[in-house]
Chains A and B, each alone.
Chain A
Amino acid sequence: MKESVTLRLVKPDEPVGAAGVPTMPVLYERYSRYVASIAARLLGREDEVKDVVQDVFVAAMEHLDELEKSESVKGWLGTITVNKATSRLRRRKVRAIFGLDSSVHTLPTSPASPEQAAYLSELYKELDRLPVSHRVAWTLRYVQEEPLEDVAKLCDCSLATVKRWIASAQDAIVKLESKQLDGISHKPGQGQA
């Protein structure tokens, strides 16, 4: 996650905290979409994304003092989001083992085409089969475009480990893509995506 210092004009009526950190409503306005974006890509289910966004900002409200000390508010919120999403993915896996994960996949987005919707649905099913850590590492690296070092930090593991996890997830996704391509190529009248 590349963090850059941004100077911004503060509106006269914008509430600002004691340490210069904007108050919670301002933080929410500024970072809620960022948090929702990470959660959506990691989880792939709209209902869970809403829960995670709330969880992240509840944690932020309860630890506002730490937040004010934090140099990178965005990074701090990103870390909480990844942790909350990872926890949910792990719970989802446990529920699936006992056959309790019966919720319907509702993508937190409006795909451009029915084909893309079908592909994303298959993709998230495939991701659900992967170990949570592998899936999170791959998503952060390639979809969120985080540097490897930051991915290792967010996943709380070494650089070598995170590389191995990403490679493992990549293999599974390449296989999925091949399968999809084969399916499309066997369908008459449809070109390659």
Chain B
Amino acid sequence: MNRTIEAMKQVQPTWNDDEFGHLFVGAQQRVKQRRTRRKLAQATFATTGAVMLMVCGTWLLRKPTEQASQPTAVVVQATSGDQLLRFPDGSSVQLLSLNTTITPREVSATQTHLELVTGAAHFEVRSQPTIHFRVDVGTVAVEVLGTKFDLERDKARTMVRVQEGVVWVTWPGGVAEVQAGQSGWFPPVTGVPTGKAHNNSVAPKDAPAAPSPRTDWRRLARRQDFGAALSVLERERVQVSDEPGDLLLAADSARLGGKPAKAVPYLQSVVRRHPSDARAPAAAFTLGRLLLDTLDAPHKAAVSFEQAQRLAPQGPLAEDALFRQTEAWLRAGDSRRAKQSAAEYQRVFPKGRKLSALRTLMAGTP
């Protein structure tokens, strides 16, 4: 045993200092190589990761586009009177009042299903046999295939007004076909027998059976042929109904048809008789503009702008109404009221977009 142990103890490297030195240099080189390889691997890993992230990102960004036809719960709400919703098939919905809320229930390759929650809207549906267009309004469902029509919700009932084509209106206990030029409230007050309604195209009892002069001027106005619409109104001596939609349409016909002064009573009717209607602030503002810019009646204009601002102090027209009210009072020579409305503007809209214009306006005021 001892011999073996002693023999093994003799086993010692007989390298000189140079050989040990070479080994150390070799070790240092290996460390450098390893570090380089590690950095290269990290760079490769980072690059691969970045590429994968880009690929995943692209895929994720593409995914919502692919799922665009899936049911959606997006609530679209009007922020101005002329907001327009467009659908992929070319159909469109124009929101007619500020309080209009439309919820898309399903928008797919085969079906467009909307719900009119509040307000009024004008629908233009492209005729496509493969797409079923349906609007639910409370208990009423309106199904169409290529048509133009208006819907207006008023608590439990819905006004359906068809300009082109045909719509099918269904409600619990009845169904009715409403043709171009016809309109009516649904469900009808008297109702329509269910069995008969399903077998025949039955217009509701309170819907007119045929187009009337009144609907004619509406149709012309909707086509933006305001001059012709105004002519019909004057020629036929049409008594415009006391309904905000009709009054505003008549006002537009007069204002844009070349006789702005005739628009004043229609707009005043909306403001005075329907102040709680969502369209009343816009009517008051339009009246103010008409009086100030066209009819040179700044005092009355200031009052109208004041009404517009009072009817919807948080509304989208409030800031403009206050500014133009100041302008109108100045033009009317009432600097005291002008200062009051200017101060009100600065208080309510301290960072308003018309602040500098207001300061310029008030600069020469004593």
Contact = CB atoms under 8 A, between A and B. Distances in A.
Number of chain A interface residues as a range:
35 or more
B7 interface: yes
Given A28-B24, A170-B1, A173-B1, A41 B31 contact: no
Contacts of B34: 58, 62
A112 interface: yes
Contacts of B360: none
Given A53-B23, A54-B30, A139-B8, A36 B1 contact: no
Nearest to B28: A61
**Which of B4, B5, B20, B23 has the most CB atoms of chain A within a 10 A radius of its CB?**
B4
Nearest to B22: A50
B15 to A, nearest CB: 7
A41 B11 contact: yes
Nearest to A174: B1
A33 interface: yes
A190 interface: no
Interface residues of B, number: 22
Given A32-B20, A143-B5, A177-B3, A116 B10 contact: yes
A32 B24 contact: yes
Given A37-B13, A58-B31, A61-B28, A32 B23 contact: yes
Nearest to B26: A54
A143 B13 contact: no
Interface string B10-45: 111111000010011011101100100000000000
Chain A contact residues: over half helix, strand or loop, or mixed? helix
**Which of B7, B13, B15, B34 has the most CB atoms of chain A within a 10 A radius of its CB?**
B13
A149 B3 CA distance: 25
A76 interface: no
B155 interface: no
B10 A111 contact: yes
Contacts of A110: 14
**Which of B8, B24, B31 has the most CB atoms of chain A within a 10 A radius of its CB?**
B8
Contacts of A44: 11
Contacts of B1: 142, 170, 173-174, 177
B23 A116 contact: no
B13 A46 contact: yes
Contacts of B11: 40-41, 44, 107-109, 120
B24 to A, nearest CB: 5
Interface string B163-207: 000000000000000000000000000000000000000000000
A49 B24 contact: no
Nearest to A117: B7
Contact of A143 (B9, B24, B28, B31): B9
B24 A173 contact: no
A107 B11 CA distance: 8
Contact of B20 (A33, A46, A123, A177): A33
A123 B4 contact: yes
Contacts of A112: 10
B135 to A, nearest CB: 72
Given A33-B20, A109-B13, A177 B27 contact: no
Contact of B27 (A41, A46, A58): A58
A15 interface: no
A120 B27 CA distance: 29
27 contacts: A25-B24, A28-B27, A32-B23, A40-B12, A40-B13, A41-B8, A44-B11, A49-B13, A53-B27, A57-B27, A58-B30, A58-B31, A109-B12, A109-B13, A109-B14, A116-B10, A119-B3, A120-B7, A120-B8, A120-B11, A123-B4, A142-B1, A142-B5, A173-B1, A173-B4, A177-B4, A193-B3
Interface of A: 25, 28, 32-33, 36-37, 40-41, 44, 46, 49-50, 53-54, 57-58, 61-62, 107-112, 116, 119-120, 123, 139, 142-143, 170, 173-174, 176-177, 193
Given A28-B24, A57-B27, A170-B1, 17 more contacts: A33-B13, A33-B20, A36-B20, A41-B11, A58-B31, A58-B34, A61-B31, A62-B34, A109-B10, A109-B12, A111-B10, A119-B3, A123-B4, A139-B8, A143-B8, A174-B1, A177-B3
5 closest cross-chain pairs (CB), A and B: A57-B27, A36-B13, A143-B8, A54-B27, A61-B31
